[in-house]
């Protein structure tokens, strides 16, 4: 046992708790099939790189620029992530994020989170966006920063009851829509 008081970023309401990602889901890295083997590419499995999320503003994503085959999936460290997985870029840059709209795979530039309860995904999407500065702070590397799977799994998130998560998601979504409307009117 060790005291984690220094890691707790803020106070929480009484019915909430802090949890590490590793306790509420599985953190999964990705992989790239060998690019010189044609049989691995242009299949029916969506495959994402962080570049696919560059400038991407929607919450959900169903496909990227490329696809891989079942053989490509089996021949690499890529994994088929289930719908509602939180896809989180772990390098170049850290913090691109989307929710899988369908089963999808990623390259090694992701540390995705598959929550034990997929109803948590919308809340975790906003939560990880808000925790990105902490994740970047814990990243390592000289040429470019990267958060490891083990370190990503240690990320602490505030965890309200599931019905409160839904209320937070709904309110945040409405407020972001209002902000978007205001920005459009100013332009």
pLDDT per residue as tens digits for the range 37-71: 999 999 999 999 999 999 999 999 999 999 999 99
Q: Is the pLDDT of residue 150 over 70?
A: yes
Q: Is the pLDDT of residue 88 over 90?
A: yes
Q: Chain-wide mean pLDDT for the chain?
A: 95
pLDDT at 1: 61
pLDDT at 6: 79
Tell me the average pLDDT across 173-185. 93
Find how far residue 19's CA is from the centre of its chain: 16
Strand order of the β-sheet with 25-29 is 25-29, 111-115, 86-90, 94-100, 60-61
Q: Is the pLDDT of residue 135 over 70?
A: yes
b (16+ CB within 10 A) / e for 149-162: bebbbbbbbbbbee
Cα distances (angstroms) measured from residue 135 to each of 37, 94, 161, 173: 35, 8, 24, 23
């Amino acid at each position: 046992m060790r005291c984690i008081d220094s890691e707790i970023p803020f106070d929480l309401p009484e019915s909430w708790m802090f949890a590490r990602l590793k306790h509420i889901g599985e953190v999964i890295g990705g992989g790239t099939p060998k690019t010189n083997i044609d049989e691995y590419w242009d299949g029916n499995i969506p495959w994402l790189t962080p570049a696919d999320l560059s400038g991407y503003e929607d919450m959900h994503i169903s496909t990227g620029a490329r696809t891989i085959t079942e053989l490509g999936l089996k021949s690499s460290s890529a994994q088929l992530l289930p719908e509602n997985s939180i896809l989180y870029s772990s390098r170049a840059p850290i913090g691109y994020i989307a929710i899988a709209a369908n089963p999808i795979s990623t390259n090694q530039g992701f540390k995705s989170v598959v929550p034990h309860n997929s109803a948590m995904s919308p809340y975790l999407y906003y939560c990880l966006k808000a925790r990105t500065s902490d994740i970047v702070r814990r990243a390592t590397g000289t040429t470019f920063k990267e958060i490891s799977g083990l370190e990503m799994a240690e990320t602490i998130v505030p965890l309200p009851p599931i019905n409160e998560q839904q209320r937070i998601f709904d309110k945040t979504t409405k407020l972001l829509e209002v902000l978007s409307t205001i920005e459009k009117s100013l332009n």
